Amino acid sequence: MIWNVIDNRKQPYRWKRIVAIVEPTWHDNSNEASDQAPKADGESEYEERRQLSVAGAIDWAQAFGFPVTLFLYDDDDGSGDRAA
């Protein structure tokens, strides 16, 4: 289930093909300004999907059985820097 979305796209009006990354939301707990999310058993550390639509990324991230932060990137970014 999506608890947070971080949109790192440089081209925010492109929705047809993006890169989506999910991480457990508790990974954000170290940020001083963050709300605190609980840690749960069985969470994957990181998953990435490419060439998804924005709607597909939302559906995919929402299907996780634990709180996730969904990161969005341009598909053609090419930077290789997907650190979240």
Stretch 13-26: mean pLDDT, rounded? Answer: 97
Query: Is residue 44 in some structural domain?
Result: yes
Query: What distance in Å separates the CA atoms of residue 16 and residue 72, rounded to the nearest whole number?
Result: 12
Q: What is the C-alpha to C-alpha distance for residues 7 and 4, in angstroms, rounded to an integer?
A: 10
Whether 15 is in a domain gets the answer yes
Residue 82 maps to a domain: no
Per-residue tokens: 48: 């990435």
Tell me how far apart the alpha carbons of residues 7 and 65 are, in angstroms, rounded to a whole number. 22
Residue 41: give the domain boundaries: 2-74
Residue 57 belongs to a domain: yes
**Number of folded domains that form the chain:** 1
Instruction: Evaluate whether residue 9 is within a structural domain.
Output: yes
* pLDDT tens digits, 23-73: 999 999 999 999 999 997 878 889 999 999 999 999 999 999 999 999 999
